[in-house]
Amino acid sequence: MSDHQFIRFKLSISYDQYLAVYQGIAKTVWVIADDGRRIVFPAGNIKHYLTKTGIQGYFEMELNAQNKFVGIKKLA
């Protein structure tokens, strides 16, 4: 049995909002997870999901037993 935890959340970030990351203005993203927790993580963790319209969708973050970031995937 895995001690990893999985946190699901919705993101809707416009391209212009994410541009602040590249400009060095923003470094983190915060979101309210489905279970009500406020999650804060480095904005670079989702940069590969950036499109011309920004970053939209339903995501799942995986943390290990020590609450360290393992990964984020976009859910269908």
- Three-class DSSP category at 36: coil
Measured distance CA(19)–CA(34) in Å, rounded: 26
Mean pLDDT of the chain: 92
Measured distance CA(59)–CA(76) in Å, rounded: 9
- Residue carrying structure tokens 């602040």: 20
User: How confident is the model over 48-63, as pLDDT tens digits?
Assistant: 998 999 999 999 999 9
The pLDDT value given to residue 28:
92
The pLDDT value given to residue 8:
98
Measured distance CA(71)–CA(64) in Å, rounded: 10
Q: Catalogue all structural domains in the chain, each as residue range(s) with its CATH number.
A: 5-75 (2.40.50)
The pLDDT value given to residue 33:
98
Instruction: Using 70 as the pLDDT threshold, list the residues of the chain that sit under it.
Output: 1
